[in-house]
């Protein structure tokens, strides 16, 4: 005979539907540990509780999602149920309501205005803008290369990314504003993360020094964007820039033009999302190459064979599989966007577990990219894992002949493979430095093009060496920043060391 369900059964069933996770009080949950050592906390949660972990962060119910099928569910299959939510409120302080922070129709209009600027073919056709900007950086390093004086490359990489972004999208050289913008960016990177610290929770009218700094830096970002917009309104900007497109854009439903505030929000979004991420990725990649002499030699050998010292074109990149693997591995080990949050609109089941409406879902790219169940020796920098033909080889066994590190014949150039660096036998959502689904990074192709061209040019011109006694660790601000910075000594490349003097 069938037994009737009792109240106890219902409670049991609810518990069974709950994802595993640490026990903590609603008010004194994981928030304090989150602040202290975020990356370790996220990776430990993943290792201890698996692909979907439930926890309380201060007052919030949060699920951390790293299982590839659950990530696909959130970003792609049931993406409509997930909005930017409470953790994005801090982003609004600096980005404004733009492509990154809005949802639904508001987002669609903004994404449609931006889309034409990010087509792969169009970007590749203008790759000389990127290589020209990198040339200027390489020339600026010459005095340091002569003197042997170490350079902290972090700000240089930010300026490089700013230079490229400005010329490719804004129709102006953003580096002319760098001295004003960089301090505002440094402040905003910390202030955007809602940590629950008292100074963040106080009402904005309370005149604390934090609020004064916040207003000052917000004003700087707004002022610079207004200057760029005004320049275009006066007809002094580029007719092909994203600024011109925004000045002409209208909202589909009403036919109304974008307001000054909306244009400014869009420009701040492209500026902040575009330069900081790419600058971080460039810094981490050069750091990783400097740390791994065998990788540097293998890369230099490939570059010498294909380019022989000349400036690369976008087409050359198809013949440089090891370069591509080095960049992909750097984005795995040091994903510049290490986490992205969403809030659930309605109740959902994720990876078999109940996720209630109104709760938060965190997708920590960093923890997924460091998952030992997916990646052999996940903390090691091993570009060979991204050589498609060699994925069966243990991750640590680099061949003695470094030129065979990534056979050229296996380079994938079809659209899908180019979308993400992960080899086919891995799940699409084992590796997702640029996110996924409709909200995937709009700037991915620009970032990858810039990273590959810049790294090829730097490694051909200079050998970068770490300065002993300057440890670097990843710090989880809005982006994954190397702290305290990356100090490198810039010396001549191998071919210039051995070349007979003129």
List residues near ligand HEM by CB under 6 A: 99-100, 111, 165, 269-270, 273-274, 277-278, 281, 336-337, 340, 433-435, 439, 441-443, 446-447
Q: Could you count the other beta carbons within 10 Å of the beta carbon of residue 419?
A: 16
Indicate the residue among 64 and 278 with the shorter CB distance to ligand HEM: 278
Closest approach of Cβ 89 to ligand HEM, in Å? 14
CA distance 296 to 288: 9
Closest approach of Cβ 273 to ligand HEM, in Å? 4
3-state DSSP assignment of residue 466: strand
Q: How many CA atoms lie within 13 A of 467 on its CB side?
A: 13
Q: In sequence order, which residues have a C-beta less than 8 Å from that of residue 6 and are 6 or more positions away?
A: none
CB 433 within 8 A of CB 332: yes
Indicate the residue among 258 and 306 with the shorter CB distance to ligand HEM: 258
Closest approach of Cβ 39 to ligand HEM, in Å? 16
Q: Which of 228, 215, 229, 299 minimizes the C-alpha distance to 258?
A: 229
Closest approach of Cβ 222 to ligand HEM, in Å? 18
Structure tokens at 115: 């889309």
Q: Which of 351, 465, 456, 491 minimizes the C-alpha distance to 68?
A: 351
Indicate the residue among 55 and 447 with the shorter CB distance to ligand HEM: 447
Give the angle 458-119-68 at the CA atoms, nearest 5°.
Answer: 80
Indicate the residue among 192 and 281 with the shorter CB distance to ligand HEM: 281
Indicate the residue among 262 and 390 with the shorter CB distance to ligand HEM: 262
CA distance 286 to 295: 11
Closest approach of Cβ 190 to ligand HEM, in Å? 19
3-state DSSP assignment of residue 258: coil
Strands 353-355 and 52-57: unpaired
Indicate the residue among 145 and 350 with the shorter CB distance to ligand HEM: 350
Closest approach of Cβ 269 to ligand HEM, in Å? 5
Closest approach of Cβ 59 to ligand HEM, in Å? 22
Q: Which of 213, 223, 338, 350 minimizes the C-alpha distance to 280?
A: 338
Indicate the residue among 145 and 225 with the shorter CB distance to ligand HEM: 225
Indicate the residue among 273 and 355 with the shorter CB distance to ligand HEM: 273
3-state DSSP assignment of residue 255: coil
How distant is the alpha carbon of residue 136 from its chain centre? 24
Closest approach of Cβ 379 to ligand HEM, in Å? 19
């Amino acid at each position: 005979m069938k037994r009737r369900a009792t109240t106890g059964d219902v409670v049991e069933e609810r518990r069974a539907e709950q994802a595993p996770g640490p026990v903590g009080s609603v008010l004194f949950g994981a928030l304090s540990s989150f602040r202290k050592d975020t990356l370790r906390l996220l990776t430990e949660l993943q290792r201890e509780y698996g692909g979907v972990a439930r926890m309380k962060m201060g007052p919030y119910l949060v699920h951390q999602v790293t299982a590839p099928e659950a990530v696909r569910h959130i970003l792609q299959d049931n993406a409509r149920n997930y909005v930017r939510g409470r953790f994005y409120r801090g982003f609004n302080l600096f980005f404004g309501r733009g492509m990154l922070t809005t949802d639904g129709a508001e987002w669609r209009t903004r994404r449609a205005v931006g889309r034409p600027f990010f087509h792969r073919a169009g970007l590749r056709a203008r790759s000389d803008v990127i290589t020209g900007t990198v040339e200027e950086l390489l020339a600026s390093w010459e005095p340091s290369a002569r003197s042997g004086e170490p350079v902290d490359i972090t700000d240089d990489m930010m300026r490089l990314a700013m230079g490229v972004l400005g010329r490719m999208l804004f129709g102006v050289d953003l580096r002319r504003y760098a001295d004003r913008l960089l301090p505002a960016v440094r402040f905003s990177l910390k202030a955007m993360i809602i940590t629950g610290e008292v100074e963040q929770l106080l009402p904005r009218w309370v005149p604390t020094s934090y609020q004064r700094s916040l207003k000052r830096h917000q004003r700087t970002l707004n002022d610079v964007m207004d200057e760029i917009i005004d320049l275009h309104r006066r007809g002094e900007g580029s007719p092909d820039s994203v600024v011109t497109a925004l000045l002409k854009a209208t909202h589909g439903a009403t036919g109304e033009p974008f307001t000054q505030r909306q244009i400014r929000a869009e420009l701040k979004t492209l500026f902040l999302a575009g330069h900081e991420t790419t600058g971080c990725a460039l810094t981490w990649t050069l750091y990783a190459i400097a740390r791994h002499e065998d990788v540097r030699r293998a890369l230099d050998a490939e570059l010498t064979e294909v380019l022989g010292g000349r400036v690369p074109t976008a087409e050359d990149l198809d013949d440089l599989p090891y370069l591509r693997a080095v960049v992909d591995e750097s984005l795995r080990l040091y994903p510049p966007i290490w986490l992205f949050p969403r809030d659930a609109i309605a109740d959902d089941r994720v990876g078999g577990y109940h996720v209630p409406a109104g709760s938060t879902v965190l997708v920590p790219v960093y923890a997924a990219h460091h998952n030992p169940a997916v990646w052999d020796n996940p903390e090691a920098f091993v570009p060979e894992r991204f050589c498609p033909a060699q994925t069966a080889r243990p991750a640590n066994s680099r061949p003695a002949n470094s030129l065979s590190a990534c056979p050229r014949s296996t380079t994938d150039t079809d659209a899908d493979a180019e979308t993400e660096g992960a080899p086919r036998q891995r799940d699409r959502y084992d590796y997702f430095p640029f996110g996924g689904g409709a909200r995937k990074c709009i700037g991915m192709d620009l970032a990858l093009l810039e990273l590959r061209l810049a790294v090829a040019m730097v490694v051909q011109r200079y050998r970068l060496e770490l300065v002993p006694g300057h440890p670097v660790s990843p710090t989880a601000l809005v982006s994954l920043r190397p702290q305290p910075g990356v100090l490198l000594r810039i010396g001549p490349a191998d071919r210039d060391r051995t070349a007979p003097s003129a």
